[in-house]
Each structure stands twice: as structure tokens, then as C-alpha cells.
Amino acid sequence: MKQTSLDLVLRDLQTLHAVVLATGNQVHIWSPGVHVPSHLLNQVNTHKRAVKNRVERSSIYVCPSPGLHRSSWEYVNGRFYCRVCEQLQQYVS
Ligand SMILES: [Zn+2]
């Protein structure tokens, strides 16, 4: 699969273990103690709708802790999602 610039941005955020949150029409990055480069924040803002869509679907591409959550990843209807992130999303949305 060809990687888009958004894929690369989300991969970089994942490397930082940054949590991507979607509330209302906004997307926020939560990364306590970790500096998120402004170009990543700008890209998230540019692709806000697509990022929000991935967060709302608990896509593995916005899972902040693949190492810890991987055993909770499931493949349903052609997409991978993270059951742990899905649960966490309910508390912040
Ligand atoms: Zn996860």
C-alpha cells in the first residue's frame, strides 16, 4: 500500500506515543512531557477530518501504544482497530 503524507505523520506521532483525541470538530494531541514538532501539528490540522475519522474508528494508525495494545487489535470489515483505544475514546469524547 502506498503511504500518504498523513500515514507518515501518524507514524511519527505513534513513535512519540502521542495520543490523538477528537472532541467535537476538533482534533487534539496529548503528549505529556514529549515535544511534538510543529510540522506534525500543522499536518494534523491540515488533515483534521481524516485524522478525526481515524480516531473515531479507533484505527490502529492512531493507536499511541502499539507495543502494549497490539494484542487488542482486531480486523473487522476490512479495517484494523484497537479495542483499548476504542474504550479510552469513550472517556474523552
Ligand atoms: Zn491502542
How many domains are contained in the chain? Answer: 1
Å from CA of 59 to ligand 1 middle: 8
Rounded to the nearest angstrom, the distance between the alpha carbon of 71 and the centre of ligand 1 is 9
pLDDT at 23: 86
How far does residue 69's CA lie from ligand 1's centre (Å)?
Answer: 5
**Around ion ligand 1, which residues have CB less than 5 A away?**
63, 69, 82, 84-85
Minimum mean pLDDT range among 10-14, 20-24, 82-86: 20-24
In angstroms, the CA 20 to CA 9 distance is 12
Residue 89 confidence (pLDDT): 84
- pTM of this prediction? 0.88
